[in-house]
């Protein structure tokens, strides 16, 4: 982007990405591109030079917020990724790879870990979610699999953090309002 805006004096950059390419969509959104249009075969994202300069001033070194998983959680999640046939598992695998792995006794109590319960804001709507392993799913009761779009999205984020995530072919604004329960904070290491 620096080359396009500074060297080539571009006024606007447009990215056209296939809607199934979730990784690229997330990368563009996290780097400051704004969603322009969504269609069945292409999603367009754009950034103008004015927005780019503003982002540089506000966030000189932009990066994706770090996420945290426990050592026990990482081992269980890696095993799950190895044997789970769902195509959404790719996103979970990517999140595990970028996560900071911590001792279960050292994880901050405001981090969403597996078997945590959290109050979220999804596109301005309050949602009470329990993050569970696939065998414990009951979406009607708010128990979402860590392998689902929403489950993978919130894994490892902290209370107060907000981000955009693509779920079911839609980009959602998600904010972790409150971690209501975290097993590690309560000493429930067996969950």
Render pLDDT for 136-189 as a digit per residue (tens, 0 to 9). 999 999 999 999 999 999 999 999 999 888 888 788 999 999 999 999 999 887
Model confidence at 30, in pLDDT bands (50, 70, 90)?
confident
pTM of the full structure: 0.67
Model confidence at 88, in pLDDT bands (50, 70, 90)?
low
Strands 68-70 and 100-102 come out as: parallel
Lowest-confidence range among 47-61, 69-83, 102-116, 171-185?
A: 47-61
> Is the four-CA dihedral 151, 95, 100, 97 of positive or negative sign?
positive
Q: Structure tokens of 189?
A: 């290491």
Tokens 């699999």 sit on residue: 145
Q: Domain residues of the chain, as ranges?
A: 2-58, 68-181
pLDDT tens per residue, range 108-138: 999 999 999 999 999 999 999 999 999 999 9
Cα dihedral 181, 187, 190, 191 in deg (nearest 10):
0
Strands 34-38 and 43-48 come out as: antiparallel
CATH assignment of 68-181, given 2.60.200.20, 2.10.109.10, 3.30.70.20, 3.10.50.30?
Answer: 3.10.50.30
The class of domain 2-58 in CATH terms is alpha beta
Query: How far lies 67's CA from each of 21, 41, 70, 90, 151, in Å?
Result: 22, 31, 10, 17, 13
């Amino acid at each position: 982007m620096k080359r396009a805006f500074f060297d080539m004096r571009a006024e606007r950059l447009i990215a056209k990405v296939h809607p199934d390419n979730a990784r690229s969509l997330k990368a563009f959104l996290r780097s400051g591109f704004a969603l322009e249009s969504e269609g069945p075969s292409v999603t367009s994202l754009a950034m103008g030079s004015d927005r780019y300069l503003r982002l540089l001033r506000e966030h000189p070194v932009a990066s994706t917020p770090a996420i945290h998983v426990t050592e026990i959680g990482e081992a269980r999640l890696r095993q799950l990724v190895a044997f789970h046939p769902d195509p959404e598992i790719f996103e979970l695998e990517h999140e595990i790879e970028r996560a900071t792995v911590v001792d279960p006794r050292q994880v901050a109590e405001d981090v969403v870990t597996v078997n945590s319960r959290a109050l979220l804001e999804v596109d301005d709507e309050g949602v009470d979610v329990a993050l569970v392993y696939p065998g414990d799913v009951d979406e009607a009761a708010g128990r979402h699999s860590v392998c689902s779009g929403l489950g993978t999205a919130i894994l490892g984020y902290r209370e107060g953090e907000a981000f955009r995530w693509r779920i079911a072919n839609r980009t959602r604004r998600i904010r972790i309002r409150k971690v209501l329960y975290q097993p590690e904070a309560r000493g429930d290491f067996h969950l």
